[in-house]
Amino acid sequence: MAGNTDAMVLESGRRNSGLTVDELWLRYFELTGEASLLELEAYLQGALIPDPLQFDMIAHALNERFMELGHDHPIPYREEAG
């Protein structure tokens, strides 16, 4: 499937983070993410495009994982931080 940019950024981020899709979903769910596990899988495969808020929640779930690993926030957000 031809990737879209969102999918590529999130999926490569996920692989680098070492999180399984299930683990990513749980962390995203904790952040008040609204997509189901199936929808998250679709976002990562490029079959569905997340709205900016859902994208940022997935990105933040990944970035918090990267912080645990001693890195900063490599995944850029859609909304500018205040």
Give the residues lining the site for another protein (CB under 8 A).
26, 29-32, 34, 36-38, 52-53, 56-57, 60, 64, 67, 73, 77, 79-82
CB of 57 to another protein, least distance (A): 7
Tell me which residue of 40, 82, 61 sits closest to 74, measured CA to CA.
61
39 within 8 A of 48, measured Cβ to Cβ: yes
Rank residues 31 and 47 by Cβ distance to another protein and give the closer one.
31
CB of 24 to another protein, least distance (A): 12
Rank residues 2 and 70 by Cβ distance to another protein and give the closer one.
70
